């Protein structure tokens, strides 16, 4: 991918994938943590073994132990047969514990015990079983504050601390949007046997400047829907999901330049201009280290205009700014 952040992530990944270090990926939902974990697995010594994901936020607490470690027949009501746990399924491969920060406290204790000697017992079992697996973790939020807040065990945190990889949200690495868009268009049109949609200039501009709160997953879903609905015909602004279009309307309103009676077409032209202005102001702010006075002088506009852009969050000013 194009962004410096993702190229760096890839570098770290390559450097550590072959080692047996524990990998923890931090990033918003849909940002691509599981994709990266899989890639790390696929270039590791364990690539011939399985890659088993388990989402800690999605499993009811009462079922967790059996989900992870399996159970013997008759271990609990309804356990009519022996059940394999994910740890067993991941033997000689990688177990990917997603949303580890959501693991209930009692399970944190059990996971810690397992990690200390890599041995576990099935629920209702008496035999210690040794596991040969590599662990990777993902979390939406950094875990240190969770430890401080008493929601995550400190000893478990230190035990799983290995190499940490930050996966930035898509809106913080906009240069990745276009290549992902193109990749998904051909990939998903192929998957569904349809002709790839062609995007109108305005539609494409909106996709490039949208904030993508659902990150790469949301982008993929939008492209998939358009592939199916347009089947080779042009995808225009009107064909984009409401979420994408309404964000454009909002920033248009901030500019005070769009009356509600205007057509979608002129509205999108305004949105394109707004986006261009934002980029210019942001780049200038970056050069001037966040100093709004110097930025205004550079752009020959009033400092108030620059300050308004910053105050309304339409441009990001660089960190360590001295405004």
Select 34 or 176, whichever has its Cβ closest to Mg ion.
34
Residue 198 within binding range of ligand ADP, rule CB under 6 A: no
Using a 10 angstrom Cβ sphere, with 0-12 exposed, 13-18 middle and 19 or more buried, the burial of residue 216 is buried
Give the integer Cα–Cα distance in Å for 59 and 1. Answer: 33
* Count of positions on this chain that bind ligand ADP (CB under 6 A): 12
Interface with ligand ADP, residue 298, by CB under 6 A: no
Taking contact as CB under 6 A, which single stretch among the options 23-31, 74-82, 110-118, 120-128 is the one that binds ligand ADP?
23-31
Task: Identify the CA nearest to 94 among candidates 40, 146, 57, 58.
Answer: 40
For 101, 236, 253, 258, the CA distances from 262, given in Å and listed in that order, are: 47, 17, 12, 7
Signed CA dihedral, 272, 274, 279, 283: sign only: positive
Give the residue among 43, 48, 36, 37 at the shortest CA–CA distance from 18.
43
From 27-35, 190-198, 201-209, 301-309, span contacting ligand ADP (CB under 6 A): 27-35
Q: Which does 82 bind (CB under 5 to 8 A by kind): Mg ion, ligand ADP, none?
A: none
Buried b (16+ CB within 10 A) or exposed e, 66-95: bbbbbbbeebeeeeeeebebbbbebbebbb
29 binds ligand ADP (CB under 6 A): yes
The DSSP H or E segment spanning 111 is helix 105-117
Which residues make Cβ contacts (< 8 Å) with residue 209, sequence separation at least 6? 174, 248, 271, 275
Considering only 13, 17, 34, 88, the residue that binds ligand ADP (CB under 6 A) is 34
Please, which residue, 134 or 153, has the CB nearer to ligand ADP? 134
Contacts with Mg ion: how many residues (CB under 5 A)? 1
Binding-site member from 13, 24, 27, 177 for ligand ADP (CB under 6 A): 27
> Cα(236)–Cα(226) distance, rounded to whole angstroms?
10
**35 lies in the binding site for ligand ADP (CB under 6 A):** yes
**Considering the complex, what minimum distance in angstroms separates the CB of residue 173 from ligand ADP?**
11
Q: Which residue is nearest to ligand ADP (CB)?
A: 32
Closest Cα to residue 124, out of 75, 169, 165, 157? 75
The binder of ligand ADP chosen from 30, 93, 169, 272 (CB under 6 A) = 30
Q: One symbol per residue from 217 to 246: x for binding ligand ADP (CB under 6 A), - otherwise; what is it? A: x--x--------------------------
Which residues does 156 contact at the CB level (< 8 Å), separation at least 6?
Answer: 108, 111, 112, 115
| Positions of E strands within 46-154 | 51-55, 94-98, 119-120, 129-130, 134-139
> Which range, of 8-16, 29-37, 193-201, 277-285, touches ligand ADP by CB under 6 A?
29-37
**Which of Mg ion, ligand ADP, none does residue 156 bind (CB under 5 to 8 Å by kind)?**
none
Write out the H or E segment, with its range, that includes residue 180: helix 177-192
34 binds Mg ion (CB under 5 A): yes
Residue nearest to Mg ion (CB): 34
Considering only 9, 32, 97, 131, the residue that binds ligand ADP (CB under 6 A) is 32
- To Mg ion, the closest distance from the beta carbon of 141 in angstroms equals 14
Shortest CB 9 distance to ligand ADP, Å = 10
151: helix, coil or strand?
coil
Output the smallest distance, CB 136 to ligand ADP, in A. 11
What residues line the site for Mg ion (CB under 5 A)? 34
What residues line the site for ligand ADP (CB under 6 A)?
A: 27, 29-35, 138, 216-217, 220
């Amino acid at each position: 991918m194009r962004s410096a952040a993702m190229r760096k992530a890839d570098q770290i990944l390559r450097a550590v994938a072959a080692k047996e270090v524990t990998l923890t990926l931090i990033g918003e939902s849909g940002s691509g943590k599981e994709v990266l974990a899989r890639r790390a697995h696929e270039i590791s010594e364990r690539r011939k073994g399985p890659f088993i994901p388990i989402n800690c936020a999605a499993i009811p607490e009462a079922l967790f132990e059996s989900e992870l470690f399996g159970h013997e027949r008759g271990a609990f009501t309804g356990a009519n047969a022996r059940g394999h746990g994910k740890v067993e399924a991941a033997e000689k491969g990688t177990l990917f514990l997603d949303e580890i920060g959501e693991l209930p406290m009692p399970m944190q204790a059990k996971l810690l015990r397992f990690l200390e000697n890599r041995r576990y017992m099935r629920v209702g079992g008496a035999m210690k079983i040794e596991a040969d697996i590599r662990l990777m973790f993902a979390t939406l939020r950094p875990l240190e504050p969770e430890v401080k807040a008493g929601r995550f065990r400190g000893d478990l945190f230190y035990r799983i601390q290995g190499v940490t990889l930050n996966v930035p949200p898509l809106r913080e690495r906009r240069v990745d949007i276009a290549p992902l868009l193109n990749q998904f268009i051909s990939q998903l049109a192929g998957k569904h046997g349809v002709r790839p949609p062609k995007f109108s200039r305005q539609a494409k501009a909106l996709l490039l400047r949208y904030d993508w709160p659902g990150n790469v997953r949301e982008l993929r879903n939008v492209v998939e829907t358009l592939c199916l609905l347009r089947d080779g015909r042009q995808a225009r602004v009107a064909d984009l999901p409401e979420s994408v279009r309404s964000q454009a309307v909002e920033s248009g309103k901030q500019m005070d330049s769009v009356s509600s009676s205007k057509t979608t077409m002129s509205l999108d032209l305004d949105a394109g201009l707004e986006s261009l202005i934002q980029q210019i102001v942001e780049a200038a702010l970056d050069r001037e280290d966040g100093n709004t006075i110097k930025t205004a002088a550079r752009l020959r506009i009033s400092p108030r205009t620059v300050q308004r852009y910053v105050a309304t969050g339409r441009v990001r000013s660089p960190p360590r700014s001295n405004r």
